A and B are shown apart, each in its own frame.
Chain A
């Protein structure tokens, strides 16, 4: 896949197959093209060249909401929730959309038992039950990030792209979100792909690591293989994993 911004080749010939159930981490130095790559997959940008297939179907030019319908979810590098809406409403919007109930305009939202049940389930998974009625904007940074994962989960995605899920979190919050990701990944319903700067997170979670550098794949393999790869150490990891 290719994507350029003016003279900058952000993604320059990345060819990648993601396997179901394999938690993949995409790493690389700043400007390596990680976020651009995620944005191409999720439909924020269209690629200049190349094609994207998801579960055997080409989705290269599908609009965002249709990718979501097909089971592709994501979170963002910068927290991205519905700030003035209550936490439970944040989760209800993707739920309604996923269940095909969002066009109903003549009955109150809460009348629907299925919506209520699933909302509670997601709030329980993300540990936000007690804050269900607060506006999302009043939550702590870490809770907002958890809520964002909750919003993505509500549409029951088969593949979920997380862009720096732990950025700006304190250690306790980080532990919570990592546990959430590894539990959900182990449950097997959802495959995770994450872009991450924090090497502890990457090496503790990922089954497979893809290293991007200057818009290309530099290396790909298991965490131990990547740890041992001389080129990766030279360009990116430096002394950090020594």
Chain B
């Protein structure tokens, strides 16, 4: 059934590449949101689905990436791509520091610690006015230009141009996660998730692996946040708020925790459901809550988990 998977991937890739051809700013903007949340949720799930640690504070890293990128673009001569990577690295570095304290605990204690650290980042963004701009945030972040070998500096002002950049960075990020989860390191992380005690008795220094996963997860989340600053030209403290930390949790639950593609599909559903419900009622969160309730109660492994457990076997039978 490899062929089926490739068909899906190819169709998704073609669709994503074609979106700017519609010329509709709305679709491009929505697609960028989906891509960024997809990367954010995939980074989050490295810790949640693969290592077994539920973080409620990932908006902290997302915001760190966004703020750092914004500051780099505003105050240094760095061009767009180095600024985005720099933002992600700052988030990764912050992940090492915060992770150092968090990975000493698991389950609810871990979740509460990450929530607390996430809110500290929020408080910092809110109060450190001289650097972060306080509750106004950073305003007037230039999108800058992308330096492409052979073409020189290319302006990214057009939304379609920025869309392709986001698509490329997201694809690179997802490719990186794919390699990592299928590597020895990824297997060891899953072992820790399954049975921490047994992993230690397999010779694994559990805490160090958790910290590495935490840092990598922060880096990816920061990369997602970094792409927001040049898009919106502004970053506000809400980027670090705990409600923002809920987004990757919900996307992952919607799509499926223990599947590779789950969080991506969940990110897509997250925005589609939101757009759909927002058109019918202003109480979109209420509707979203109901949809989530049905999915969590009825489709335990998320949409992708359901597909793999029920639909794919049926398809395989029918297609021979």
Chain A positions within 8 Å of B, measured between CB atoms, are: 42, 63-66, 68-69, 73-74, 80-85, 89, 92-94, 96-98, 101-109, 112, 115, 151-152, 154-155
Contact = CB atoms under 8 A, between A and B. Distances in A.
Interface in B54-73: none
B184 A42 contact: no
A109 to B, nearest CB: 5
B202 A108 contact: no
Interface stretch (B104-112, B190-198, B245-253, B261-269): B190-198
A96 B187 contact: yes
A65 B122 CA distance: 37
Interface of B is mostly: helix
Given A80-B195, A85-B190, A93-B191, A106 B179 contact: yes
Interface stretch (B8-16, B203-211, B286-294): B203-211
A209 to B, nearest CB: 25
A83 B205 CA distance: 20
Contact of A104 (B185, B197, B202, B206): B185
A82 B201 contact: no
A109 B184 contact: yes
B188 interface: yes
17 contacts: A63-B200, A65-B200, A65-B204, A68-B202, A73-B201, A80-B201, A81-B195, A83-B194, A89-B187, A92-B187, A93-B187, A93-B202, A94-B203, A102-B204, A105-B184, A108-B179, A109-B183
Interface residues of B, number: 24
Most chain A CB within 10 A, of B185, B197, B258, is at B185
Contacts of A69: 203
A64 B191 contact: no
Contacts of B194: 82-85
B317 interface: no
Nearest to B181: A105
A93 B204 contact: yes
Given A68-B200, A104-B184, A151-B202, 9 more contacts: A65-B200, A65-B203, A66-B205, A69-B203, A89-B190, A93-B199, A96-B184, A107-B179, A115-B184
A2 to B, nearest CB: 24
Interface in B138-159: none
A164 to B, nearest CB: 16
Contacts of B204: 65, 93, 97, 102
A69 B203 CA distance: 6
Contact of B200 (A64, A92, A108): A64
Contact of B183 (A74, A83, A104): A104
B180 interface: yes
A48 B287 CA distance: 57
B153 to A, nearest CB: 31
A219 B64 CA distance: 64
Given A64-B200, A93-B204, A98-B203, A105 B179 contact: yes
Given A83-B194, A84-B194, A68 B201 contact: yes
A108 B183 contact: yes
Interface in B159-183: 179-180, 182-183
Contact of A83 (B179, B195, B258): B195
A109 B197 contact: no
A155 B199 CA distance: 12
B214 to A, nearest CB: 14
B186 interface: yes
A16 to B, nearest CB: 21
Contacts of A98: 203
Closest 10 interchain pairs by CB? A94-B202, A105-B185, A68-B203, A97-B203, A82-B194, A64-B200, A93-B191, A96-B184, A105-B183, A65-B205
A42 B201 contact: yes
Most chain A CB within 10 A, of B180, B202, B205, B258, is at B202
